[in-house]
A and B are shown apart, each in its own frame.
Chain A
């Protein structure tokens, strides 16, 4: 906070920043700048919590209301794929943490390597996800006109009305995993830039704030999935 500012820093004016090119004109000190961007990122993540929170709220209401349909819908998902994807995301979180670590200790090559690894894991995740989506497509589990309740009525012997309610489950499934996937894609695009920038040497030792902030974002996306996995895939597995 303000106490971190020394009297010497106060004297600095726009011109007195001298040496440090990375210090933007309107900040007094590097710490102030770093604290600011870190806080900014956290506040942004708070915003993200509420964004996904809206979806979780809808999920909660309908899960309580249409529990059976949710169970049936959940049982059509592929748990191994979900579990593997969870693992993949955890790996990507680790590599992301390692990337931040590399930036902190100022190893450029290592940073680029871990960013690339994170991106790779992200890509694997999306690949698995698209296989799953495709499966839903062939199963006619996409809400809308082509939605078919046949499987639930015949295989699960669900009454027609319950079978119909699975549409709500799938609507939420696609809304939630879709929003999550979009966040991953955005993250991967940014990661591309980060790799490019670090290749150009934009993050010399001591300048890891950007990487660190991006890491926060990536971990957040991971956390969302940590909740999505049990809530969507594991509602009540047939025992």
Chain B
């Protein structure tokens, strides 16, 4: 560590969680939330690239109207596995298990999560689920779509439905454990003075996320069990041939999977609240509203699931109820967007990479969210459902929103995690590439969708080609954008400038300890005396040692 010795430069702390033991066991059997977070980081990055490789294949296939690159069965497996990998093995665990694991205890001044062993267990549970699913992929894949609609999945598909379902089910328990751990930690482990109204919004967001994880995930678990039983033992629960109702499966599936989309955005929203305040040097505008809206999203998120079933044969009455509720759940998101924007007002804004991702998030989430309003409008959904409009909608939110937030968070807390800075200019370039590539990939899909191009199509009519080529071109730019950070993050772990405890001059307990933090996070339990984001107070710009 002799590279960065400019005179008053900070040095790496002598004892930190990274050098507390080097053996394999010291990692694989650790109960340190920070090490577990890193193990998750490595694993989900792997699955992101697996999912990304599948996306690459999808986009290659769709370059030409004819289904010429892969067979239709292969294509169906590609998008199914892409969806399954990305949703259940990347995006749902993304921020909670990496940054959440790392930061939740630190931000509230605790030495660890409430149940460190459960935390480790949940990692291995997740890994087991992932291996099951990988087994399904390797031994031939699964081709039901990530939604597993019956009776296709129970009686007609002849691919590895059970293995995949079991994999997801197992991974689901990992998410339940994580949720329990967070809820208990946030209730029980706060440092003295860390009242609920002083909690960082990242914590509020994770609290809301955990609520969904705990109350929603078991429903998908039992649903997938029923699918597996029906497929394996011929129980007749969803099979219309025996009087079962396939719509009931959809109800149960979406009862979880709609709230799950909020699992996939709330942590990102928490991140944005942290970043926008730091880089504007301002308190958050309307703390109570931002905190409360997270809870509102979590609760209202449970009331709207059947908006995925507007043309599926639910009653007209139910469709109307669910449409109305879908509009209501959009309001708390709107509140957040406006408060973030207002936070920048009269700030002192710097444009470091994490802040660039904030701009990306707000812009793309707004567009994705607004197109959600299209879908919630019954008359429009009838036309655009199951088309590329949907594909564009959710990629705008999930990739444009959540992945942007995730990237922003990685850059922001990278110095805390590794003790070293990433290369700023390269990172800005990558952010720009991702932004451009993203829009080129997914904006044309809105147009395609309204034109009527159905999703999950291996071949398509020739008049859709131009837009598809644009989309594929964008995807290749996007791929470069994601590969770059991979490279420079790894580079920086060894060669990056040493960061010091608080390179951003940020507020929050996690910045008051060394980078990387010691195994027990704080030399002594901190006592909290000020609100979250107390930027601009007299002590604010003074760095604590």
Contacts and interface: CB of A to CB of B under 8 A. Distances in A.
A and B touch in the complex (CB under 8 A): yes
A61 B245 contact: yes
A20 to B, nearest CB: 16
Contact of A25 (B195, B218, B520, B525): B520
Contacts of A32: 188-189
A50 B242 contact: no
Contact of A39 (B116, B184, B215, B226): B184
Chain B binding surface, main DSSP class:
helix
A155 B216 CA distance: 43
B243 A57 contact: no
Contact of B183 (A10, A25, A43, A48): A43
Contact of B244 (A2, A37, A144, A168): A168
A76 B20 CA distance: 64
B436 interface: no
Given A13-B525, A25-B520, A171-B237, A43 B223 contact: no
A180 to B, nearest CB: 12
A83 interface: no
B110 interface: yes
A25 B181 CA distance: 16
Contact of A10 (B110, B192, B216, B235): B192
Contacts of A10: 192, 525, 527
Interface string B425-444: 00000000000000000000
Contacts, number: 139
A1 B187 contact: yes
Given A43-B184, A53-B219, A175 B214 contact: no
A48 B243 contact: no
B218 A51 contact: yes
Contact of B237 (A50, A53, A58, A179): A58
Contacts of A1: 187-188
B524 A13 contact: yes
Nearest to B110: A26
Contact of B215 (A11, A46, A145): A46
Contact of B235 (A37, A47, A62, A144): A144
Given A25-B520, A53-B219, A54-B252, A36 B184 contact: yes
A172 B236 CA distance: 9
A120 interface: no
B214 A46 contact: yes
B180 A47 contact: yes
Interface string A108-149: 000000000000000000000000000000000001110000
Interface in B35-54: none
A55 B229 CA distance: 13
Contacts of A26: 110-114, 116, 189, 520
B144 interface: no
Interface in A1-50: 1-2, 5, 7, 10-14, 24-28, 32, 35-37, 39-40, 43-44, 46-48, 50
B188 A39 contact: yes
B306 to A, nearest CB: 13
A165 interface: yes
A212 to B, nearest CB: 16
A66 interface: yes
Contacts of B217: 47
A55 B222 contact: yes
Interface of A: 1-2, 5, 7, 10-14, 24-28, 32, 35-37, 39-40, 43-44, 46-48, 50-55, 57-58, 61-62, 65-66, 143-145, 164-165, 167-168, 171-172, 174-175, 179
7 contacts: A13-B523, A14-B111, A26-B114, A32-B188, A39-B184, A53-B218, A168-B243
Q: Closest 6 interchain pairs by CB?
A: A51-B218, A54-B222, A144-B234, A26-B112, A171-B235, A26-B111
